Structure 1
Amino acid sequence: MKDLGLASRCLGIEFHQDTKNHSVYITQRQYTEAILERFGMQDCKEVKTPIDINISLTKPERPNERLMQQYPYQRLIGALMYLAVSTRPDIAYAVNLMSQFNTNFTVEHWVAAKRILRYLKGTVNYGLMYQRTNKQLYGAVDADWGSNTVDRRWYSGYAFILAGAAVSWEARKQRNLALSSVEAEYMAISEATKEAIYLRGTE
């Protein structure tokens, strides 16, 4: 075996290590720039949020195969998914939301998905900074019970922080129905607790 020194890049993830200050910054700048160029958005106008909070997307009654063939929607969501699970928890909810329309989307969905690219354009340097702290692992969890008026499936999300940045996160639409916001909160806490038990077991 040969010691190649500190890792600088692996699987599209860039590592910037500062041994003096005991910190590691991971980002996917090059990967993000490649996505922007791949979908012709390298010169797009930036936005401050990955999704419009007032948007209300629904699935068409029937898929329009002819229209969907005109847009590389699934390829875009797949590319964004790798970002969302690797170094960009800030787009996890938006990507999860848009992935629900992979097999049935319209131009409106395509425009909403490209908004994530416009957000990435202005946040291309974002990443995760880990540095030595005296804080133990801690997490935050929340549930959104009432905003989905289409099928009433609720959303939940959590993030666990260690060394100053997220080490585990999730944002997803739940399969089961909750009869109240309290029930949704309890179920969200249950999911986060499972992850907490797993993470504490790996310390």
Structure 2
Amino acid sequence: MKNSKRGFVPMSHGISLSKSQYPTELDELKRMSSIPYASAIGSIMYAMISTRPNVAYALSMCGRFQANLGEAHWIGAKSILKYLRGTKGLFLVYEGERELVIEGYTDASFQTDIDDYRSYSGYIFRLNETVVS
């Protein structure tokens, strides 16, 4: 990852991760078992909680496949890491307004999980025009 290209978005549009991408061949299972996927997901989660809430959706899509990951899942996690590497100079800045302004937004999608037909919802809270959750 040290010499990788820098990413512009945490997860590209149109990428769909599912259970159908699990490895089926024995050699692929062995190769995927040596990949530090859970460690990468944990590192991304630490960054998300600390300073980078903008990767939450991409992380939730990749984090579901820790038990049995395939190559597509690992590529998804690496794309988040590339994005974080490319945007490491960016950080949260709270404006110095005297009055605190809190805004909240929410959205939901209906049955977008192609494996289990679950719906997803999300939210964002801003404090003086800066995302905090």
- Please indicate the TM-score interval, normalised by the length of the shorter structure: 0.7 to 0.9
**Structure 2 unaligned blocks of 5 or more:** none
CA contact (8 A) 1:138 1:160 kept: yes
- Count of residue pairs the alignment pairs up: 128
Quote how far apart the aligned CAs of 1:161 are.
Answer: 1.1
Matches within 5 A, 1:42-61: 42-59=2-19, 60=22
Q: What amino acid is the match of 1:75?
A: S
Higher relative contact order (CA 8 A, sep 6+): 2
Alignment-derived partner of residue 138 in structure 1 = 103
2:64 corresponds in structure 1 to: 100
Aligned to 1:157: 122
RMSD, aligned CA: 2.1
- Residue deviations 1:146-202, cap 9 Å, x none? 4332211111111111133122x2xxxxxxxxxxxxxxxxxxxxxxxxxxxxxxxxx
Rg larger in structure: 1
Give the structure with the higher percent strand: 1
Residue of structure 1 aligned with 2:52, choices 88, 94, 106? 88
Q: Distance in 2 between matches of 1:138 and 1:52?
A: 27
Amino acid across the alignment from 1:88: R
Q: Over residues 69-91 of structure 1, what are the superposed CA-to-partner deviations in whole Å (9 max), with x where a residue is unaligned?
A: 22111110011000111110111
